[in-house]
Amino acid sequence: MIIEVCAESHEYAVKAEKAGADRIELCKDLHLDGLTPDYQTAKNTIEKLNIPVFILIRPRKGDFVYSNEEFELMKRDILKFKEIGCKGIVSGILNDDKTINIERTKELVKLSRPLEFTFHRAFDVVKDPLNEIENLVEIGVNRILTSGQKDKAMDGLVLLEKLNSISDKRIIIMPGSGISKNNLKSFDLFREIHGSFKNEINSINF
C-alpha cells in the first residue's frame, strides 16, 4: 500500500518522509481544504526529498468552478511546478451543475504529461460518481482522491469499494479524509491511501 501524506510545509514533508511516507501531496492552507503551494516552498521540498512530490493546483477556496482567468493561472502553475521537478499534479474542475468539466480537466491532464494526474476531492461533490469515473478513465486521469462523498472515508467505504471494483485497475481509487493508523486495516482493498497522519508523523511511526 502506498501512503501519500498531505503536507502544507517543507518541514512537515521532511518529517513525513522520515516517518515512512511513500509520496507527498504538497499544498498550503489545509484549513481551506488546500490551495496551490508557494513556489519557493515547493522548490525546497522537491529538492530536499527523495520521495515523489505531487503538487495541488487549486487557486482559491470555495467551489471548483473556475473563471477563464483562474483556469489560465492553473495552467501556468502546472508548467511552473513541472519545471522544478514535481512528479505529479493534483487538480480538477467542475461545471455549475456538479458534473466534471471534462474539456478543461482534459486540458490540465494533457498539460501535466508525462507526469501523473490525480483528480482531487472535487469528486466528492459530483452528482453521478459512477458515471464520472468512466469520464476520468477516458481522459487519462491516473487516480481519484475521494472520501466516498462523505466527510470521512470510513463513512464512505461502501461507495469507495464500489468505485474500486468499477475501476478494475484502469484508474486508482485513493481514499482520503480521516484515515489513520487506527483504521488503516479497513482500507486493505486499496492500493493507495491519503491523509495528513499527524499522530503517526509526529511519533515517526507508520
At 119-174, the pLDDT tens digits run: 999 999 999 999 999 999 999 999 999 999 999 999 999 999 999 999 988 999 99
Q: 26-43: per-residue pLDDT in tens? A: 999 988 888 999 999 999
8 A C-beta contact, residue 86 and residue 55: yes
Cα–Cα distance measured from residue 194 to residue 4, given in angstroms and rounded to the nearest whole number? 5
Q: Which domains does the chain have, with CATH numbers?
A: 2-197 (3.20.20.380)
Cα–Cα distance measured from residue 74 to residue 186, given in angstroms and rounded to the nearest whole number? 35
At 201 the pLDDT is 81
At 146 the pLDDT is 97
- Please give the model's pTM, rounded to 2 decimal places: 0.93
CA distances from 118 to 17, 24, 141, 174 (A): 20, 13, 6, 9
Over its C-alpha atoms, the chain yields an Rg (Å, rounded) of 16
Other beta carbons less than 10 A from residue 121's beta carbon: 21
> Could you tell me the pLDDT band of residue 181, with boundaries at 50, 70 and 90?
confident
- Judged by DSSP in three states, 43 sits in helix
